Structure 1
Amino acid sequence: MRVRVATTILGITAALLAVPACSTDTAPPARTEKPAEAARQAAPLSSATLETRLLDESDLGEGYLRKPERPSQHNDVTVIGCPSLSELGGDAATGGTLSFPRNAKADFTYGGSSSEVSEELYSDNAAKLSHGIDRIFDATTSCPTYQVLAGGTPIDMASQELPAPRGLGDEQWSQLLTFSTGDRSTVVKQTAIRDGSLLLIVSGSPALVDRHLDKALAKATTTS
């Protein structure tokens, strides 16, 4: 099955292909949430406020450089062999479910351009945030392997659900995506945490995601 979609927030982009290859051992997948807190509501934050809650170079430490913000692009990507992604359809299939008007994003390189990490913040009704990210993670991880054609280049994809980081926020998701072109393979970890009306997504080199996830959530949920 083929479906024409735009580049998604889940990393089907040339930028993510620049992350160097690496590997990780994982335990059986798990997604967690705190039922008692799931119903907690808070007023959505503005994009300007979200921008102030993003990590910056001083938070990350020596060796990190923020990448210039690129204009929004909707490069056509053909997805082959993942019916669940096709079934999302329309904006949902392209990541549009998370195209909320209140958002902010920052991309960083580490040690020159050898490793990358990105942070995305969204704010909206808690139920909308949860539903949007849940549908996309479920669809992606339901297909262990599939293929995308990006700009005419075939990319073999492998997805794996990872144990979600317990004790952070109200709901958590995590996955590992492997991009392979020829003899080159790139591994990207992506972890998402919803805390009330705020959604945090950290993506990039697995070691960098693990290193900065806690501080990203702490700054994103600050009330000062």
Structure 2
Amino acid sequence: MRLHTTTVVSLSALAVLFLAGCSTGSTSAADSTSSPSASVRQEGNNASAPAPLSSAALSKRLLDESDLGEGYTRKPEQPKRHDDVAVTGCPALDRLGGDAAAGGSLDFPRKAKASFTYAGGSDSAVAEELYSDTEDKLSKGVGRIFDAMVSCSMYQVLVGGTPIEVTAAKAAVTRIGDERWGQVLTFAVGGRSTVMKQAAVRTGKVLVVVSGSSALVDAHVEKAVAKARVTH
């Protein structure tokens, strides 16, 4: 199955780009785990904005260095790459390929992203992505992707000719927002492996996705959601 880069970036987010030697500064779509995997929906707690937010409004709700604390440096945005991406060994992702190739899934038009490195050690990085759409579209879009990903414990991603072995498992996310998805991904390439975590939280018409080293994701996901839901 061959997918457009943005689709698989949203699936594997930060880690695939790191292992393939790419930059993570562009504004591409994002994701996490889903309902059968690790999604939780809180009924009766959907106080949301009257309309989806614009990309400009979302960008103002991204975390910055002052939110994260000492030792974080924001990475500059880089031009989008257009490498083809192939996924093998996961029938659920294969069945999702039609919508993905057509630009569906998490390719929401209203989005903003920021990526940071952390001086605390190697492989210490975190990225935040914000998306806005109707509650239903956000929920279904994230859910389908995450369900597909965690349905396969192992599969391979080929990014621009570089094969990356992926191991996926669902993960718990702090009980915040209206819906939550979480997964831990292990990427292996060239004799090196990296473990990354993704946490996605829907709060009203905004989806917050935090990706990076597990400790940094756990440390910052709550403040990311809190800032994303602030009204101006």
TMscore range, shorter length: 0.7 to 0.9
CA contact (8 A) 2:126 2:213 kept: yes
Query: Which of the numbers 14, 17, 20 marks the counterpart of 1:15?
Result: 17
Q: How does 1:1-224 map to 2 (within 5 A)?
A: 3-7=1-5, 8=8, 9-11=10-12, 14-17=16-19, 30-37=38-45, 42-92=50-100, 96-111=104-119, 114=122, 115-166=124-175, 168-224=176-232
Q: State how far apart, in whole Å, the 2-side matches of 1:185 and 1:155 are.
A: 9
CA contact (8 A) 2:156 2:164 kept: yes
Secondary structure of 1:37 counterpart: coil
CA contact (8 A) 2:62 2:227 kept: yes
Uncovered stretches (5+) of structure 1, i.e. residues with no partner: 19-28
Q: State how far apart, in whole Å, the 1-side matches of 2:65 and 2:102 are.
A: 30
Q: State how far apart, in whole Å, the 2-side matches of 1:39 and 1:90 are.
A: 33
**1:16 is matched by which residue type in structure 2?**
F
CA contact (8 A) 2:177 2:202 kept: yes
* Correspondence for 1:22: none
Uncovered stretches (5+) of structure 2, i.e. residues with no partner: 22-36
**2:177 is matched by which residue type in structure 1?**
G
Structure 1 residues 14 and 94, CA, compared in 2 at 3 Å: closer, same or farther? farther
CA RMSD of aligned residues (A): 2.1
Secondary structure of 1:10 counterpart: helix
Q: State how far apart, in whole Å, the 2-side matches of 1:95 and 1:187 are.
A: 28
Secondary structure of 2:222 counterpart: helix
Q: State how far apart, in whole Å, the 1-side matches of 2:139 and 2:47 are.
A: 11
Q: State how far apart, in whole Å, the 2-side matches of 1:209 and 1:153 are.
A: 26
The C-alpha deviation readout for 1:56-88, integer Å capped at 9, x for no partner, is 111111111111112222321111100100101
Structure 1 residues 14 and 139, CA, compared in 2 at 3 Å: closer, same or farther? closer
Provide the identity percentage.
57
CA contact (8 A) 1:32 1:164 kept: no
Which one is further off, 87-96 or 154-163?
A: 87-96
CA contact (8 A) 1:170 1:193 kept: yes
Secondary structure of 1:54 counterpart: coil
The C-alpha deviation readout for 1:154-178, integer Å capped at 9, x for no partner, is 2111000112322x11000000011
Residues paired across the two proteins, number:
211
